[in-house]
Amino acid sequence: MTLEKAREYLGVQASMGGGYNRNGARLVLAEVQREHGQSAVDQLIRELDLEQIFGFTPGTKFTGA
Protein backbone atom coordinates (compact mmCIF):
# COMPACT_ATOMS: atom_id res chain seq x y z
CA MET A 1 0.00 0.00 0.00
CA THR A 2 1.33 3.43 -0.85
CA LEU A 3 1.56 6.05 1.87
CA GLU A 4 -0.85 8.24 -0.08
CA LYS A 5 -3.46 5.45 -0.16
CA ALA A 6 -2.91 4.78 3.55
CA ARG A 7 -3.37 8.48 4.26
CA GLU A 8 -6.64 8.43 2.31
CA TYR A 9 -7.98 5.34 4.14
CA LEU A 10 -6.94 6.67 7.54
CA GLY A 11 -8.57 10.03 6.81
CA VAL A 12 -11.89 8.27 6.18
CA GLN A 13 -11.54 6.15 9.33
CA ALA A 14 -10.64 9.20 11.42
CA SER A 15 -13.55 11.26 10.10
CA MET A 16 -16.01 8.61 11.26
CA GLY A 17 -14.36 7.70 14.57
CA GLY A 18 -15.77 4.80 16.60
CA GLY A 19 -14.58 1.33 17.54
CA TYR A 20 -14.91 -0.36 14.16
CA ASN A 21 -13.06 2.48 12.48
CA ARG A 22 -10.35 2.30 15.14
CA ASN A 23 -9.78 -1.37 14.26
CA GLY A 24 -9.70 -0.53 10.56
CA ALA A 25 -7.13 2.18 11.22
CA ARG A 26 -5.01 -0.31 13.21
CA LEU A 27 -4.99 -2.71 10.26
CA VAL A 28 -3.94 0.06 7.85
CA LEU A 29 -1.16 1.14 10.21
CA ALA A 30 0.01 -2.48 10.55
CA GLU A 31 0.37 -2.72 6.78
CA VAL A 32 2.17 0.64 6.63
CA GLN A 33 4.52 -0.55 9.37
CA ARG A 34 5.26 -3.78 7.51
CA GLU A 35 5.89 -2.04 4.18
CA HIS A 36 7.35 1.34 5.16
CA GLY A 37 8.55 1.06 8.78
CA GLN A 38 7.82 2.64 12.13
CA SER A 39 8.80 6.17 11.12
CA ALA A 40 6.06 6.21 8.45
CA VAL A 41 3.51 5.01 11.02
CA ASP A 42 4.58 7.68 13.51
CA GLN A 43 4.35 10.37 10.83
CA LEU A 44 0.79 9.34 9.90
CA ILE A 45 -0.27 9.29 13.56
CA ARG A 46 1.00 12.84 14.01
CA GLU A 47 -0.20 14.13 10.66
CA LEU A 48 -3.77 12.84 11.02
CA ASP A 49 -3.99 13.48 14.80
CA LEU A 50 -4.73 9.80 15.44
CA GLU A 51 -3.54 10.15 19.02
CA GLN A 52 -6.44 12.47 19.76
CA ILE A 53 -9.01 10.52 17.70
CA PHE A 54 -8.12 6.89 18.50
CA GLY A 55 -5.48 7.12 21.24
CA PHE A 56 -2.65 5.80 19.02
CA THR A 57 0.71 7.12 20.15
CA PRO A 58 3.88 7.42 18.07
CA GLY A 59 6.12 4.43 18.73
CA THR A 60 3.24 1.98 19.03
CA LYS A 61 3.88 -1.28 17.18
CA PHE A 62 0.89 -2.42 15.09
CA THR A 63 0.38 -5.99 13.92
CA GLY A 64 -2.09 -7.35 11.39
CA ALA A 65 -4.94 -9.70 12.18
Res. 53 pLDDT band, cuts 50 70 90: very high
| pLDDT for position 23 | 93
Higher pLDDT, 43 or 20: 43
Res. 63 pLDDT band, cuts 50 70 90: confident
The string of pLDDT tens digits covering residues 19-34 is 889 999 999 999 999 9
Q: 63 to each of 12, 19, 25, 26, 47, how far by Cα in Å?
A: 20, 17, 11, 8, 20
Count the helices and strands in the chain (H runs, E runs). 4, 0
Tell me how far apart the alpha carbons of residues 8 and 60 are, in angstroms, rounded to a whole number: 20
